[in-house]
């Protein structure tokens, strides 16, 4: 408990979920926690994990969308080139992706990969 409250005071983002008997609700971001410990659970928001190069390549080959560097206009559709020894490295923060039917560029997260490819 104290660790989460201290993290909030340090400016870290906090997530909460409602405890409903034996059931636990989904985690969601809370701007200003009310610290309702009997009915809610709190944690420091976990950092988003980005896709690895291999996962991004699979996402692209499956035809999910396209990628580009955040700064720039060059878009690639189904090709990404990288050294094989970088298979399991997370892609840089400068990479963004978007679905074919969307105008919104997103951070290529592990969550997107798991939802779309598993």
In 1-118, DSSP assigns E strands to 14-20, 23-24, 28-30, 40-44, 65-69, 75-76, 95-99
Q: What is the pTM of this model?
A: 0.64
Cα–Cα nearest to 16, from 36, 63, 7: 36
Alpha helix (H) residue ranges in 40-117:
53-61, 110-117
Q: What is the mean pLDDT of residues 8-25?
A: 85
pLDDT tens digit string along 23-54? Answer: 677 888 999 999 999 989 999 988 889 999 99
């Amino acid at each position: 408990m104290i660790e989460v409250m201290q993290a909030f005071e340090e400016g870290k983002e906090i997530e909460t979920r409602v405890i409903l008997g034996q059931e636990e609700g989904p985690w969601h971001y809370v701007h200003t926690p009310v610290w309702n410990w009997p009915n809610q659970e709190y944690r420091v928001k976990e950092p988003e994990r980005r896709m690895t190069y291999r996962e991004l390549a699979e996402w692209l080959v499956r035809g999910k969308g396209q990628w580009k560097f955040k700064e720039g206009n060059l878009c690639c559709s189904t090709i990404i080139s990288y050294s094989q020894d970088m298979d399991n490295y997370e892609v840089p923060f400068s990479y963004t992706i978007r679905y074919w039917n969307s105008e919104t560029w997103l951070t290529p997260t592990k969550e997107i990969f798991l939802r779309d490819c598993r």
